[in-house]
Amino acid sequence: MGVTNNLERRVHEHKLKLVKGHTKKYGIARLVYYEVFNNINDAIRREKQLKRYPREYKYNLIERENLYWDDMARDWYKEYAL
């Protein structure tokens, strides 16, 4: 989870394991859910809200938009295309 002003750049950094933290530690490289906000304060507020929710709620949220947890960024970069 996180906030960025450039989702494609951030996903690319995670896929290359350039960013320390949870995604690098656990080898997470799929984008399975995201929300778009026009206001940074709204985005930060939403991130904090989601972090308080239990894992099951987050899983349900993802599965409403992405039932099979497909990598939503799969076609963004040639080197990661399946």
d(CA 4, CA 11): 10
Predicted confidence at residue 80, as pLDDT, reads 53
- Number of domains comprising the chain: 1
Would residue 34 count as lying in a domain? yes
Would residue 1 count as lying in a domain? no
**How does pLDDT run across 47-60, given as a tens digit for each residue?**
999 999 999 999 99
**pLDDT higher than threshold 90 for residue 61:** yes
Would residue 18 count as lying in a domain? yes
The proportion of the chain whose per-residue pLDDT surpasses 70, expressed as a percent, equals 95
d(CA 42, CA 24): 26
Question: Are 9 and 2 a contacting pair, CB within 8 Å?
Answer: no
Give the domain extent around 60: 7-77
Would residue 11 count as lying in a domain? yes
Would residue 82 count as lying in a domain? no
Would residue 51 count as lying in a domain? yes
